[in-house]
Structure 1
Amino acid sequence: MSVIIAMHEFDTPSHARTAHGPGHDAGAPVRRVHAAPAAPGTTTEPGPRTLCGKDTFAMRAAGPPAAPPAGSPAGPPWYPPGEASLVCPSCDAAMDDG
C-alpha cells in the first residue's frame, strides 16, 4: 500500500487547503479522522479521496502517527494518538484489509 496520510474532517465548513498550508481555522472541532493515500509522486500531500471515498479538499492533514511503545510487537496506528474515537470505521476497515 502507498503512504497513508491521516486527514481531519471538521464539523464546520472550511476553506480549502492552500499551497501555503491549511485554510481551516485553528481550534475547529474534528468530526472524523480519515485515511487518504498520498498523491502520486509525494509522501506529504493527500490524494483527492480518502479510503472511504470522501473528498480531501476541505480536510487537513492530522500529522504523523505516534511511534509504537518500546517492545511493542504491533506498529503504530495510522491515526494520531488520542483520536481513536474519531476514526472513520470505513477507513479503518480498509486499513485493516491492506
Structure 2
Amino acid sequence: MSEIVVVYELDKPVTTRVSPGTPRGEKRPVRRVHAAPGAPGTAAATGPRTLCGKDTFAMETADWRPSEAPTAPWYPLEYASVICPDCDAVIET
C-alpha cells in the first residue's frame, strides 16, 4: 500500500453569538479519524478520498505520519476512540 495520510473529520461549526470575551479560532473537536492514500508524488497531501470513500476536501490533515512510527497504530493514540472502523478494516487487510 502507498503512503497513508491521517485526516481528521471535524465537528460542524456551531453558529453562536460571540461575546467580546470569547476567544476566536478555537479548534473544533475531532469527530472521526480517517486514513487516506497519499497523493502521487507527495507524502503530505492526501488523495481525494479516504480509504472508506469519504471526500477529504473539508478534512484537516494530521501531523501524525504512520510511516514514521512503523510499530505504532496508523492513527494518533489520543484519537483511538474515534477512528473510522471502515478505514481501520481496510488497513488491517
CA RMSD of aligned residues (A): 1.9
2-structure distance, mates of 1:44, 1:64: 10
- What TM-score do you get using the length of structure 1 for normalisation? 0.75
Which amino acid is 1:10 matched to? L
Unaligned runs of 5+ in 1: 14-24, 69-73
Residues 1:81 and 2:77 are matched in the alignment: yes
Q: Which has the larger radius of gyration?
A: 2
1:29-69 CA-partner distances (Å, limit 9, x unpaired) = 1100000000011111000000000000000112215876x
Which amino acid is 2:10 matched to? F
SS of 1:83's equivalent?
Answer: helix
Q: How does 1:85-96 map to 2 (within 5 A)?
A: 85-96=81-92
- What TM-score do you get using the length of structure 2 for normalisation? 0.78
Unaligned runs of 5+ in 2: 14-24
Between the aligned residues of both structures, percent identity stands at: 54
Greater share of helix residues, 1 or 2?
Answer: 2
Instruction: Report runs of 4+ in structure 1 exceeding 2 Å deviation.
Output: 65-68
